[in-house]
Structure 1
Amino acid sequence: MRIAALLVAISIVFSSTAALADDVAAAQGVIRAQEQAFARDDASAAYSFAAPAIREIFPAPDIFMAMVQSGYAPVYRHKSFEFGESKSEGSWIAQRVHIIDANGEAWEALYTLEQQADGNYKITGCSLLKAGQAV
């Protein structure tokens, strides 16, 4: 009986770990797709990955794109963009991204994403700091 209970517990841990990995992969896919849309200057595609609250603040793709270009230049244009640590809690995922900007300077971005009612993840925010700066 103990072996059966142990096997059930192990299968629950592995299935939840696999689900978490799937969620993180989905969130990273959203971030990567938005990054690629920025590279193509495709404001509509980039905007489509923003959560409803972001879309309320920036009510049109061109307004959103202008904000990214002026306030998030390392996200908009960069030499490298690599995923770091991720954390998940409930329907939320936080994903760190290590960025080297167009001038060769290092940055840390922290993206937050929330799973929507349709099951897809949308970006709820992005905090950007020069690497080495305290939070």
Structure 2
Amino acid sequence: MRVLILLAALLFGLSAPACAADDVAAAQSVIRAQEQAFGRDDPATAYSHAAPAIQGIFPDAETFMAMVRNSYAPVYRHKSFEFGEARAADGKIAQRVHILDVDGVPWEALYTLELQPDGSLKITGCVLLKAGQAA
């Protein structure tokens, strides 16, 4: 019996990082899909990746896209967009992204995503800072 409990604990312990890695990969896929939608000027697709709370603030895709263009220019248009450190726990993911804007200025974006009741991951927020700035 002890062996079964130990084996179960070992398997659970080994599967937890895999789940977290899967969650991070899924989150990166959502972020990348939104980033590509911005690049194509596809407001409907970009908006579809935003969580309901964000959609409540920006009630349509065009308003959302205008906010991103005006307030998140390095996310909207950039030279590079590379994933950094990520953390996942309890259906929530925080993903750091290193961005070089169109002028070559480095930025750090911290995306947060949350598992939705339908099983999808949606972006709940993005904090954007020039690289080296305090949060």
After superposition, give the CA deviation of every residue in 1:28-72 in whole Å (9 maximum; x if it has no partner): 100000000000000000000000000010001000000000000
Corresponding position: 1:19 with 2:16: no
Alignment partners' CA distance in 1, 2:84 and 2:77: 19
Q: CA deviation at 1:2?
A: 5.0
The gaps in structure 2 that reach 5 residues or longer are none
The 5 Å alignment of 1:1-135 reads: 3-135=3-135
Deviation larger for 32-41 or 15-24: 15-24
Q: CA deviation at 1:6?
A: 3.2
Q: Is the 8 A contact 2:20 2:89 kept in 1?
A: no
Letter in 1 for 2:42: D
Q: CA deviation at 1:13?
A: 1.0
Alignment partners' CA distance in 2, 1:2 and 1:102: 59
Q: Which runs of 4+ in 1 moved over 6 A?
A: none
**In percent, how many aligned pairs have the same letter?**
66
Alignment partners' CA distance in 1, 2:50 and 2:119: 14
Q: CA deviation at 1:4?
A: 4.1
Paired positions, count:
135
SS of residue matched to 2:97: strand
The gaps in structure 1 that reach 5 residues or longer are none
Alignment partners' CA distance in 2, 1:33 and 1:121: 12
Letter in 2 for 1:75: V
What RMSD, in angstroms, separates the aligned Cα atoms of the two structures?
A: 1.1
Q: TM-score, normalised by structure 2?
A: 0.95
Letter in 1 for 2:25: A
